[in-house]
Structure formats: structure tokens, C-alpha cells
């Protein structure tokens, strides 16, 4: 599982050094160090290859007569690019994904379970502030879905 977040820099060529715990998780799930990056929710999302394959398979169960499903499928899958960890533990984020997520230099790598997200630092902070401002509403919606936060 990918957890926590860390501040990073992306270089001019689009190379990004993953933190050791993220590299270990990628290599645990995909020993050859392959992962898929795609566009989603104003950021770049990274999936170890086995997780990505499960996502692609799940799309086959959707009714593609629904235009919303087709449009999302096209957006999500066509935005995907397979990348590999290099010897230094870096990945290369393609230019079109950097442009989509507005990645310049200062970024946040956020672990969110089976995937990680690559955010522009300002966008990440704005998104966190939005969640904090709506915290009670979010918690109510989660409770409606059966989510229990135990202390």
C-alpha cells in the first residue's frame, strides 16, 4: 500500500525520484519496476502494473453504450503510459501528463492505497484545504456509505 505524502522536485526532463517506500512497493508488486501513469482528477496517478491490469479488466464489465462511460474510458486509458524505474529509482513523467497536471518543479507525491498521485504542490494544498473546509460534509457522506472511522 502507498501511504503518506512527500515533497519532491521534478527535473526539467520530467524525471522524478520516488521515495524509498514507494519504490519498494512498486518493486514488490512489479519486480521489473514497471508502472502505469495516467491523468486523473488534476494529477498524475501511478499504478504498479498488476493493479493497472485489474483496472483495465474492470472496464470490460461496463456498458459502453453509456456515453459517460465511453468518455471516461477514453480519457483514462488513452492517457496511460507505461514507465519503468531507472537505476536511481526515478520515473519519467511524459510531457503531456506534466502539462495536464501542471507539474513544474515543486510537487507532492501522495500515497493513496493501491496507487500514488503526483500533484503540483499548490494544487495539492488547495485540494487539501477544500477537503478541510468541507470535512463534516465529507464525513457524513462517508458514514452514509457505511464507512466507520474508529478511534
What is the model's pLDDT at position 63? 85
- The total domain count for the chain is 1
Residue 143 within a domain? no
Contact 16, 90 (CB under 8 A): yes
What is the model's pLDDT at position 59? 87
Residue 87 within a domain? yes
Residue 151 within a domain? no
- C-alpha separations of 59 from 23, 76, 77, 112 in Å: 27, 11, 10, 21
Read off the CATH number of the domain in which 32 is found. Answer: 3.40.1550.20
Residue 134 within a domain? no
**Rounded distance between C-alpha atoms, residue 42 and residue 107, angstroms:** 13
What is the model's pLDDT at position 60? 86
Give the bridge partners for 34, in sequence order: 84
Residue 139 within a domain? no
Residue 146 within a domain? no
What is the model's pLDDT at position 151? 72
Residue span of the structural domain in which 79 resides: 5-120
What is the model's pLDDT at position 11? 95
How far is C-alpha 143 from the geometric centre of its chain's CA atoms? 25
Tens-digit pLDDT profile for the chain (151 aa)?
A: 999 999 999 999 999 999 999 999 999 999 999 999 999 999 999 999 999 999 999 988 888 899 999 999 999 999 999 999 999 999 999 999 999 999 999 999 999 999 999 999 999 999 999 999 999 998 999 899 998 888 7
Residue 49 within a domain? yes
Residue 149 within a domain? no
Amino acid at each position: 500500500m502507498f501511504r503518506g505524502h512527500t515533497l519532491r522536485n521534478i527535473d526539467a526532463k520530467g524525471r522524478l525520484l520516488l521515495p524509498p517506500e514507494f519504490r519498494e512497493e512498486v518493486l514488490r508488486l512489479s519486480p521489473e519496476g514497471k508502472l502505469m501513469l495516467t491523468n486523473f482528477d488534476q494529477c498524475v496517478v501511478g499504478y504498479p502494473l498488476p493493479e493497472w491490469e485489474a483496472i483495465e479488466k474492470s472496464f470490460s464489465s461496463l456498458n459502453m453504450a453509456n456515453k459517460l462511460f465511453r468518455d471516461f474510458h477514453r480519457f483514462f486509458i488513452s492517457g496511460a503510459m507505461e514507465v519503468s524505474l531507472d537505476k536511481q529509482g526515478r520515473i519519467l513523467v511524459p510531457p503531456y501528463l506534466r502539462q495536464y497536471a501542471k507539474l513544474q518543479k515543486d510537487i507532492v507525491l501522495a500515497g493513496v492505497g493501491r496507487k500514488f498521485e503526483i500533484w503540483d504542490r499548490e494544487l495539492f494544498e488547495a485540494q487539501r484545504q477544500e477537503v478541510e473546509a468541507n470535512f463534516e460534509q465529507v464525513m457524513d457522506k462517508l458514514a452514509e456509505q457505511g464507512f466507520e472511522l474508529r478511534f
